[in-house]
Amino acid sequence: MVARPGVPPAAPLDSPGRLPFNRRSDPRRRDAVHVNTQPSHRPIPADLVEHVLARLGERSIVLVGMPGAGKSTIGRRLASLLKLPFVDADHEIERAAAMTIPEIFEKFGEAEFREGEKRVIARLLEAGRHVIATGGGAFMAEETRAAVRERAVSVWLKADVETLIGRVRRKSNRPLLAGADPEGVLRRLLQVREPVYATADLTVQSRDVAHDDVVAALLATLARPTAGVASGDDPADPGPSSRGDRPMSTVLARDADAVADPPADGQGRETVTVGLGARAYDILIGRGLDAGAEIAARFPGARASIVTDATVADRHLAAFTDSLAAAGLEPHAIIVPPGEGSKSFRGLETVVDGLLEARRERGDLVVALGGGVIGDLAGFAAGIVRRGMRMVQVPTTVLAQVDSSVGGKTGINARQGKNLVGVFHQPSLVLADLDLLATLPERHRRAGYAEIAKYGLIDDAGFFAWLEDHGADVVALGDGLAHAVATSCRAKARVVAADEHETTGARALLNLGHTFGHALEAGTGYGERLVHGEAVALGMAQAFRFSAARGLCPAEDAVRVERHLRSVGLPTRLSDVPGELPDDEALLSLMAQDKKVVRGKLVFVLATGIGGAFLARDVPVEAVLAFLAQERSGQGRSGQERSMPELSEPEPASKEPSP
Ligand SMILES: NC(=O)c1ccc[n+]([C@@H]2O[C@H](COP(=O)([O-])OP(=O)(O)OC[C@H]3O[C@@H](n4cnc5c(N)ncnc54)[C@H](O)[C@@H]3O)[C@@H](O)[C@H]2O)c1
């Protein structure tokens, strides 16, 4: 126990009862609280700790469960990690009563003990944010459960009966288990208590493993977005709706929203607004949009320069130009070769030349008709020509409709790496016409789908679950497509409005899968061996496996991610990439070249589970190397990894990332 200097003794909060439980049990007293300063031995990312504390807000963590579940030991370690005070409620009761619990039972009986226990726990809950370990029977009192619900997150440390018996045999201070048949008593208590423990907000298995492993699992569970919601389908569980306003359950509400049909106007179109104040803009999502009419209505008097690639031009340019011409936008087209190679200084020069030669002014429009390559390139040109022209994004790939056309990140690749040269330049309008996707090759539909799945994996477990049922339909451009695009755009719009320039870390979560993915893209020459969305899919699968390997995320979630990505034909393993890959050191150096490096430390988006992405800024290089070696050796393979049929054969890839 460590004293907390400067904390004044407070007046008793309790009204006197028959038992003197109010005697010295105010946790604000310096001697009533264990402040933990011992660090845990298991490395836990600081970001995860911050994330959990932010999610908790002002709430305490209350551990419930049977005697022997490890509430005090685990609670003390958890408190140490979170740098919160730890209180063992039983110790508080003993202190308040100035006698041991067996003595209280003997002198006053169980009923009196329970009354005192309720009062002590109520006071502890009122005394600020703590980690509180409760006695085995405490949570059985409805009053206590209500108080915990209001001020804390409850966690049931669940242990199987054999583990409990083994542990309680070693302890002698449990009056209920002091008789001749402690095992029988324990089993009977379990039957009565388990259904009530199951109403706790979270359940964590307390196994006979290192305590730090249980604490890591507990921390990961607390970090999950669904933390704080109903724990199961137990009929005794009143469910989230009856639990009042619980901030940690807000994600569940959004999950429910995510599976509803998007609101649409009379023509089946939906508008998502990116809320950036004076620079706010709309994303119009629908089928058969009249681009000319939509653009001209919003930008009267402007002229339009279309930037596109040769493949898209073949399929869509004639009709698109007609639409713009009919609306008086005086279109002309600048056409670059298809593929990542156009996101280059040479490609930029072509576009800038085209705009200047056509004598377009600041008030005119650059219209990007194409995938992410065209959007990034045309957006960059629009951002720098005449110190900034207005721009309209007309995305023609799944990836561009759900991701790259929204948010104003523009740029080109450099010899040193991808997207290293660019500016933030928001579009003034995004027109996502789902019909334009009909000509997109299946491989690119699947690749774009990786970015859709990404939104579910980041913070929308409900959307991911929906995708598990509808993924194939979305890739086939079926009825689910509109919902998938709209949900993705809403997610992206939310993030961009919250963190436009990627300064708070919120937007950086969109880089899930990118640290691994970009290195693989670079390592395969930015060519047909691995297109961007495929690299993201593989990177996301790796990010989940890496998270699981670091004890942050349940292994089942990593398996689920892999299973789903594979089910739509996306790569998830290094062995899925045709041809030779750079060795681990070379991949690491490509990761370090990536812009997601802050002062030499590797920055990864890791996850505590599906829908629980977080930014880890301090990932040690050795951990990455060990993980890559494990990936290469095929350890931990799920048995599904050999059924990846659809990637193209190796083609001679450009050595230059961005010629
Ligand atoms: N700015 C951002 O926020 C952001 C986000 C994600 C990705 N990106 C970037 O996006 C790029 C990848 O985008 P992409 O996957 O759309 O690639 P892409 O633009 O190269 O398009 C893929 C291929 O599909 C063809 N194509 C496009 N639309 C078509 C259509 N409707 N019918 C037939 N063919 C069509 C293209 O010609 C190209 O060959 C990468 O450079 C990546 O860095 C940017």
Burial 326-340 (b: 16+ CB within 10 A, else e): ebebebbbbbbebbb
Residue nearest atom 18 in ligand 1 by C-alpha distance:
371
Span 494-506, mean pLDDT?
89
* Among 251, 283, 313, residue at a domain's last position: 251
DSSP states of 96-161: HHTS-HHHHHHHH-HHHHHHHHHHHHHHHHHSSS-EEE--TTGGGSHHHHHHHHHHEEEEEEE--H
Residue 380 lies in a domain: yes
Whether 393 lines ligand 1, by a CB cut-off of 6 Å, is no
Span 6-30, mean pLDDT?
40
Q: Given this model, what pLDDT does residue 491 score?
A: 95
Ligand 1 geometric centre to CA of 375 (Å): 8
Are the CB atoms for 394 and 379 separated by under 8 Å? no
Span 282-286, mean pLDDT?
97
Span 45-65, mean pLDDT?
86
Whether 425 lines ligand 1, by a CB cut-off of 6 Å, is no
- How far, rounded to the nearest angstrom, does the alpha carbon of residue 99 sit from its chain's CA centroid? 48
Residue 584 lies in a domain: yes
> Is the pTM for the entire model greater than 0.75?
no
Catalytic residue among 514, 550, 564, 566: 514
DSSP H helices, 418-552, are 442-459, 461-475, 480-498, 514-523, 532-549
Query: Could you say which DSSP state residue 347 is in?
Result: H
Ligand 1 geometric centre to CA of 506 (Å): 24
Residue nearest atom 11 in ligand 1 by C-alpha distance:
372
Is residue 412 predicted with pLDDT exceeding 50?
A: yes
Dihedral pair phi/psi, residue 34, rounded to 5°? -90, 110
Ligand 1 geometric centre to CA of 602 (Å): 27
Whether 70 lines ligand 1, by a CB cut-off of 6 Å, is no
Whether 315 lines ligand 1, by a CB cut-off of 6 Å, is yes
- Residue 500: in which H helix or E strand, if any? none
Residues 305 and 209 in one domain: no
- Which CATH number is 336's domain given? 3.40.50.1970
Residues 96 and 109 in one domain: yes
Whole-angstrom CA distances from 150 to 115, 154, 238, 470 are 19, 10, 14, 38
Rounded to the nearest integer, the mean pLDDT of the chain is 82
Whether 336 lines ligand 1, by a CB cut-off of 6 Å, is no
Query: Could you say which DSSP state residue 638 is in?
Result: -
557-565 LR contacts (CB < 8 Å, sep 24+): 557/607, 557/609, 557/610, 559/638, 560/468, 560/610, 561/457, 561/610, 562/638, 562/640, 562/641, 563/638, 563/640, 564/453, 564/464, 564/467, 564/468, 564/471, 565/450, 565/453, 565/537, 565/540, 565/541
Q: Given this model, what pLDDT does residue 8 score?
A: 33
Q: Given this model, what pLDDT does residue 594 score?
A: 59
Residue 34 lies in a domain: no
Q: Note if 596 is an active site residue.
A: no
Q: Given this model, what pLDDT does residue 13 score?
A: 32
Residue nearest atom 36 in ligand 1 by C-alpha distance:
338
Residue of 399, 435, 492, 534 to mutate, ligand 1, most atoms within 8 A of C-beta: 399
Residue of 518, 532, 595, 648 to mutate, ligand 1, most atoms within 8 A of C-beta: 532
Query: Which pLDDT band holds residue 41 (cuts at 50, 70, 90)?
Result: low
Residues 474 and 422 in one domain: no
Whole-angstrom CA distances from 310 to 54, 117, 156, 339, 442 are 49, 75, 60, 10, 18
Ligand 1 geometric centre to CA of 154 (Å): 46
Is residue 202 predicted with pLDDT exceeding 80?
A: yes
Is residue 103 predicted with pLDDT exceeding 80?
A: yes
Whether 308 lines ligand 1, by a CB cut-off of 6 Å, is no
Whether 312 lines ligand 1, by a CB cut-off of 6 Å, is yes
pLDDT in tens, 290-315: 999 999 999 999 999 999 999 999 99
Q: Note if 76 is an active site residue.
A: no
Residue of 373, 454, 485 to mutate, ligand 1, most atoms within 8 A of C-beta: 373
Residue 466 lies in a domain: yes
Catalytic residue among 294, 451, 528, 641: 451
Element counts in the chain: helices (H) and strands (E): 24, 18
Q: Given this model, what pLDDT does residue 254 score?
A: 35
Is residue 12 predicted with pLDDT exceeding 50?
A: no
Residues 211 and 273 in one domain: no
Residue nearest atom 27 in ligand 1 by C-alpha distance:
371
Task: Name residue, tokens 């083609």.
Answer: 651
Query: How far is Cα 461 from Cα 610, in angstroms, rounded to an integer?
Result: 6
Residues 303 and 371 in one domain: yes
Q: Note if 409 is an active site residue.
A: yes
Span 44-53, mean pLDDT?
79
**Does residue 402 or residue 51 have the better pLDDT?**
402
Give the pairing of strands 417-421 and 412-414: antiparallel
Span 173-179, mean pLDDT?
69
* Among 234, 251, 268, residue at a domain's last position: 251
- In 559-652, where do the E strands start and end? 597-598, 601-607, 613-619
Residue 24 lies in a domain: no
Share of the chain above pLDDT 70, in %: 80
For 2, other C-beta atoms within 10 Å of its C-beta total 12
Q: Note if 507 is an active site residue.
A: yes
Residue 28 lies in a domain: no
- The listed range with the strongest mean pLDDT (129-143, 173-187, 259-273) is 129-143
- The listed range with the strongest mean pLDDT (20-29, 182-191, 545-554) is 545-554
Residues 406 and 464 in one domain: no
Residue nearest atom 22 in ligand 1 by C-alpha distance:
371
Whether 94 lines ligand 1, by a CB cut-off of 6 Å, is no
Query: Which pLDDT band holds residue 266 (cuts at 50, 70, 90)?
Result: low
Residue 482 lies in a domain: yes
Span 233-246, mean pLDDT?
31
- Which CATH number is 610's domain given? 1.20.1090.10
Whether 532 lines ligand 1, by a CB cut-off of 6 Å, is yes
Residues 272 and 378 in one domain: yes
Q: Given this model, what pLDDT does residue 514 score?
A: 93
Residues 433 and 445 in one domain: no
pLDDT in tens, 637-648: 443 443 443 444
The total number of structural domains that make up the chain:
3
Whether 340 lines ligand 1, by a CB cut-off of 6 Å, is yes
* Among 391, 407, 439, residue at a domain's last position: 439
Residues 602 and 491 in one domain: yes
Ligand 1 atom index nearest CA of 343: 41
Q: Given this model, what pLDDT does residue 256 score?
A: 31
Q: Given this model, what pLDDT does residue 47 score?
A: 73
Q: Given this model, what pLDDT does residue 173 score?
A: 64
Residues 307 and 204 in one domain: no
Is residue 176 predicted with pLDDT exceeding 80?
A: no
Catalytic residue among 41, 170, 387, 655: 387
Query: Which pLDDT band holds residue 285 (cuts at 50, 70, 90)?
Result: very high
Whether 400 lines ligand 1, by a CB cut-off of 6 Å, is yes
Share of the chain above pLDDT 90, in %: 57
Query: How far is Cα 191 from Cα 181, in angstroms, rounded to an integer?
Result: 16
Is residue 485 predicted with pLDDT exceeding 90?
A: yes
Ligand 1 geometric centre to CA of 490 (Å): 20
Ligand 1 geometric centre to CA of 516 (Å): 19
DSSP H helices, 224-303, are 250-258, 291-298
Ligand 1 geometric centre to CA of 532 (Å): 8
**Does residue 227 or residue 427 have the better pLDDT?**
427
Ligand 1 geometric centre to CA of 339 (Å): 8
Q: Given this model, what pLDDT does residue 502 score?
A: 87
Query: Which pLDDT band holds residue 230 (cuts at 50, 70, 90)?
Result: very low
Q: Given this model, what pLDDT does residue 35 score?
A: 37
Is residue 6 predicted with pLDDT exceeding 90?
A: no
Ranking 58-62, 234-238, 384-388, 432-436 by mean pLDDT, the lowest is: 234-238
Q: Note if 246 is an active site residue.
A: no
Whether 399 lines ligand 1, by a CB cut-off of 6 Å, is yes
Query: Which pLDDT band holds residue 359 (cuts at 50, 70, 90)?
Result: very high
Span 470-489, mean pLDDT?
96
Query: Which pLDDT band holds residue 282 (cuts at 50, 70, 90)?
Result: very high
Residues 435 and 447 in one domain: no
**Does residue 223 or residue 345 have the better pLDDT?**
345
Residues 280 and 182 in one domain: no
Domain encompassing residue 315: 258-439
Catalytic residue among 224, 343, 409, 444: 409
Ligand 1 atom index nearest CA of 451: 6
Q: Given this model, what pLDDT does residue 264 score?
A: 61
Q: Given this model, what pLDDT does residue 576 score?
A: 96
- Residue 461's contacts (CB-CB under 8 Å, 6 or more residues apart) are 225, 226, 251, 255, 609, 610, 611, 612
Residue 6 lies in a domain: no
- Which CATH number is 204's domain given? 3.40.50.300
Ligand 1 geometric centre to CA of 343 (Å): 11
Residue nearest atom 41 in ligand 1 by C-alpha distance:
373
Ligand 1 atom index nearest CA of 448: 15
Q: Given this model, what pLDDT does residue 261 score?
A: 40
Span 415-442, mean pLDDT?
95
Q: Note if 130 is an active site residue.
A: no
Residue nearest atom 2 in ligand 1 by C-alpha distance:
404
Ranking 326-335, 567-576, 586-595 by mean pLDDT, the lowest is: 586-595
